[in-house]
Structure 1
Amino acid sequence: MTTSRRTFLLAATAGVTATALSSTPAGAHAPSASVSGAASPAGDVVGKVTVGYQGWFAAPGDGAPINGWWHWSPDMSQAPRPGASSAKSWPDVSDYDRTYPTAMPDLNGGGAAALFSSWDQQTVDTHFRWMRENGIDTAALQRFNPFGSEGPTRDGMAQKVRGAAESNGRKFYVMYDVTNWTSMATEIKQDWSQKMSAHTSSAAYARQNGKPVVCVWGFGFSDDARPFDAPECLDVVNWFKQQGCYVIGGVPTHWRTGNEDSRPGFRDVYHAFDMLSPWMVGRIGSSGESDSFYTNVNTPDLADCAAHGIDYQPCVLPGDLQAGQRAHGDFMWRQFYNMVRLGAQGIYISMFDEYNEAHQIAKTAETAADVPAGSGILALDEDGTSCSADYYLRLTGDGGRMLKGQLALTADRPTPVRP
């Protein structure tokens, strides 16, 4: 199984020494498309909310080529069971026409502990319907190395996402993750040319500045899973731009300073992208830490991007539900507030369906009655506040309205925990 970037977490950085630059006053609202120094007008990513979409869950009997409990179990040949489940958070599955029984105990409130498969078109259609109902504009389809055993399933998922985006009036684009992709430098070009570029013919494929959007996540990270050097990374970025693409870089948190999670010597690579989206999962876990990053990291990041004609798409995350970070939405709302008052050109939500790392905004078990007995999995009411299964979808919708100037800038979360 390919190692996910979600497993590559660093502790939130303390004592950042970067000097804070001037920022938008807390009470002012500057719509993202008109920020001073913004490189691009509003499009399918600038001025929009994008969600990272895994689409990587499967189960035996769903018809997927991978034919196993993909990302639901550490052993795909075995159903999730006590002590051997990859689901850190438990989904609410009430909207799915088809689910798959696991070997987990029944739910505390009664009923089988069943899971969905991303391979079912109805599942993907449901996810994109949730996006439509909550004003989420664009989905970045995660695409890891497609040349191994997962390739046929990932190819099929791209087609399913395309269909769901078309039928729900949403946009999507391909987001390559280069984690553990040994032959990435040549194979990523082959995959785009021979397979993924065909999806740009869809009216639902995201475009920015008239160009099809593609993202490459992982260049410059200082870990062994992404060992690529700067020249080969720069070659890939420039190649995609030569194909006429608008290229987003999913880059290290400390891309600008070239230290901590970033390799040194990558500034030319980072500055070659049309948009930068620095990774944030594992870096912050509270509103106070979000405020610190706003001052010491996000503000100078945006200034650097503006100076180089690059759009800025920071991450906003709901928080690790199982680590008690969410504060019934206050943590996520503080990030929305900080990024909108900053003047970010767009926002990237990490992630839509990341049940493996408990950072999902998709519908989630509301109470202990909705999780398998004895599992220890926390539900959305873990801090004593009752939240509806779709709460983080609705909160994301409100954050998007604030980004677009449809909701006045406010530090007070407007989203009720229950509709």
Structure 2
Amino acid sequence: MRYILGTLCFAILIAFFYSHSSRNSFTVVDIPKDNFNQLKTNADTIEGKFLFGYQGWFSTPNSEYFKNWKHWSSDKDINSPPTPSNSSFDFYPDTSEYLNKYEIPLSDNSLLTSSSGNNIHLYSASDLSTIDLHFKWMKEYSLDGVFHMRFVSAISDRNSEIYLFKDKVLNNIRISAEKYDRVFALRYNITDPSNPKSIYGNVQNEYDAVIGDWKRLVDMGLVDSSAYLHQSGLPVVSIYGIGFRKDMTTASLEAQKKILRFFKNAKDKKYRAFVVAGVPSMWRSAADKNQFDSRKSDAAINSKLEAYSSLYSQHYIDAIHPWHVGRYKQYRFKNYYEQVILKDIEIAKDNGIMYIPTVWPGFSWAHLTDNCENRNQIPRSGGQFYWEQLSFLLENKDIQTIFSANFDEVDEGTAIFKQIATEIDLPRGSSLSCSKNNIAYIPFNEDGFEIQNDFYLNLASIATSILKLDYLRSDIAHSVPNLPVVETVSFSKDNQTSKLTIFSGEENFSLYLSGHRLFKQRPIYKINPGGYRITIFNSMINAVVYATVVSGDSDDLQLSVDLPELPDGKYKVVVKTYDTVSKPLVLEVNSSND
């Protein structure tokens, strides 16, 4: 039984439950029914694409290579299982659909379980079935594809376990992208500093690592894949770390120029590429002494400011992609857009290069930094933060490509794939508080919005469709689109029953919802997909439960609800969807059915 008991100030509570949310406005986006999900994504152009960063760096002891809990457990102890006191991620993936998933053993030989009593699982990116599922979701939600990150430190030693692991993941991506008609491209990351103590090894020469890897993969036919992204007849490659401060990359200005020159002008033309430069958010400050502030800027300079700004031209790159993550919070994006992004676009146009902005759903890295203050640092606010960014960018027709950080980045809380939506499905003992030895994981509903495990996939799907349909790119509302509207809640399918008596021995009951754009959910018993928070209360008791099964269509749903342990009495029952709460029903619990 799932329940939370407590006392509440019910005069305030009942007044709140009887009212709908103050958020009365919502946006309905009229997307064609096919929504592109049966169409093959065109790999011949980067334009008109909403693309996602894809780390693919999660391992388990069951992985074929790199047999540890890398990126699940803290870097201090990747050989021990990830627990709230030894984790590197803040959001938990929903693994209910994974074919291969791995239980988490504890020191007492038991297994980690959720508050609802189910075993907790994690996945390995080296399993083809994992990447297959991720690309299947991309197909189902009409998402175009990914830039797959290859950190220079992880590819510097071709005999290392991490190198073999990364190659296995890349092959999984190629197979899955081809299977589901999605696209992929490589994204080399040169920002990880050299460290002789690193488990990856010490990077001595970024040029040799990147170019050597690229040549090998081209020779193996990677860019000949039907799914590999091209632009202007060239394979697309992204180099992240161009123009960053020296403490963020060990690649010197000359090393960066050498790498970019190779991709643009390689003697053997088969190695040439369409180059997307991943640059700091303040990349323009490198050429403007009046704007530059070394205490705040993520951009690099030297005695000649123009030296770094010279990288941002057609001579070296074809597209510029600033990293905006962490640079603003909710309700501040409009100012950032007007003061930074619009000016970025003008400079990029003047330089004859494409501009690709970054969006992100929120940010949290408490486990990664071992600091409670960094937990839910920039809240998602039920998708409002994500959509605020997308809506402004989609309106600007100078922007033809958008990058989202990231599809699977749970370490820094920017992942948009399916994640645990409710606190009851997080590991047992992981309260929503935060302490040094128990930093709590974050469910989707932490910010007070009841949403599904696939909520951000749906938002990304809508954004992808708008980006491809020019007539939709005008006057886009900045409020989250297509939110569910619950019109009636009843104990019967005919929506006529507002009272129900439950007798001894009955363990569950059903609620029937009618409305518009209701969250679509398939039956999942092990992990609850979220979206509907059911509160059963009277003056002494307050129990919160979630449906064990949700069935029906987008206008009429049936919620199967396990009855929590309640003493005899009358209770009010309300359903919260997103930030709107239904009118109460009356439930009577009677231990006698005489």
Instruction: State TM-score, norm by structure 1.
Output: 0.86
Aligned partners of 2:73 and 2:82 also within 8 Å: yes
Query: How much does 1:378 deviate?
Result: 1.6
Query: How much does 1:91 deviate?
Result: 0.7
Residues 83-162 of structure 1: matches in 2 within 5 Å? 83-103=85-105, 105-145=112-152, 146-148=155-157, 149=160, 150-162=162-174
Residues 1:382 and 2:426 aligned together: no
**Residue 414 (structure 1) aligns with:** 481
**Residue 394 (structure 1) aligns with:** 458
Distance 2:174 2:455 in 1: 26
Distance 2:385 2:263 in 1: 36
SS across alignment from 2:481:
coil
Change (3 A) 1:317 1:43: farther
Change (3 A) 1:196 1:93: farther
User: Which of the residues 328, 333, 339 maps onto 2:382?
Assistant: 328
Distance 1:387 1:323 in 2: 20
- The answer to which structure has the higher helix fraction is 1
Give the letter for the 1:377 counterpart: Y
Change (3 A) 1:357 1:368: same
Distance 2:63 2:189 in 1: 25
1:52-108 residue CA offsets vs partner (Å, 9 max, x unmatched): 001111111232x11111211122211112310112111100110111111464111
Residues 252-401 of structure 1: matches in 2 within 5 Å? 252-258=280-286, 259=292, 260-264=297-301, 265-271=307-313, 272-286=316-330, 288-320=331-363, 322-323=376-377, 325-342=379-396, 343-375=398-430, 376-401=440-465
**Residue 10 (structure 1) aligns with:** none
SS across alignment from 1:241:
helix
**Residue 66 (structure 2) aligns with:** 66
SS across alignment from 1:323:
coil
Give the letter for the 1:269 counterpart: L
Distance 1:334 1:78 in 2: 39
SS across alignment from 2:227:
coil
Change (3 A) 1:408 1:297: closer
Query: How much does 1:134 deviate?
Result: 1.3
**Residue 216 (structure 2) aligns with:** 194
Which segment drifts farther, 207-216 or 94-103? 94-103
Change (3 A) 1:61 1:227: closer
Distance 2:104 2:408 in 1: 19
Distance 2:223 2:81 in 1: 37
Aligned partners of 1:44 and 1:171 also within 8 Å: no
Distance 1:164 1:95 in 2: 16
Residues 1:166 and 2:209 aligned together: no
Aligned partners of 2:379 and 2:447 also within 8 Å: no
Give the letter for the 1:68 counterpart: N
Query: How much does 1:280 deviate?
Result: 1.2
Query: How much does 1:370 deviate?
Result: 1.4
Change (3 A) 1:59 1:280: same
SS across alignment from 1:304:
helix
**Residue 175 (structure 1) aligns with:** 187
Change (3 A) 1:140 1:308: same
Query: How much does 1:315 deviate?
Result: 0.4
Distance 1:234 1:405 in 2: 37
Change (3 A) 1:130 1:310: same
Distance 1:211 1:93 in 2: 37
Higher relative CO (CA 8 A, sep ≥ 6), structure 1 or 2?
1
Give the letter for the 2:353 counterpart: I
1:272-315 residue CA offsets vs partner (Å, 9 max, x unmatched): 210111001111221x2211111010000000111111011100
SS across alignment from 1:66:
coil
Task: Report how many aligned residue pairs link the two structures.
Answer: 377
Give the letter for the 1:56 counterpart: W
Give the letter for the 2:339 counterpart: N
SS across alignment from 1:86:
coil
Which segment drifts farther, 376-385 or 222-231? 222-231
Return 5+ residue gaps in structure 1 as ranges: 1-40
- The answer to which structure has the higher strand fraction is 2
**Residue 240 (structure 2) aligns with:** 217
**Residue 562 (structure 2) aligns with:** none
Query: How much does 1:42 deviate?
Result: 10
1:117-147 residue CA offsets vs partner (Å, 9 max, x unmatched): 1111111000001111112112101001212
SS across alignment from 2:209:
helix
List structure 1 runs of 4+ shifted beyond 3 angstroms: 41-44, 406-409
Give the letter for the 2:299 counterpart: S
Aligned partners of 1:124 and 1:161 also within 8 Å: yes
Distance 1:44 1:115 in 2: 35
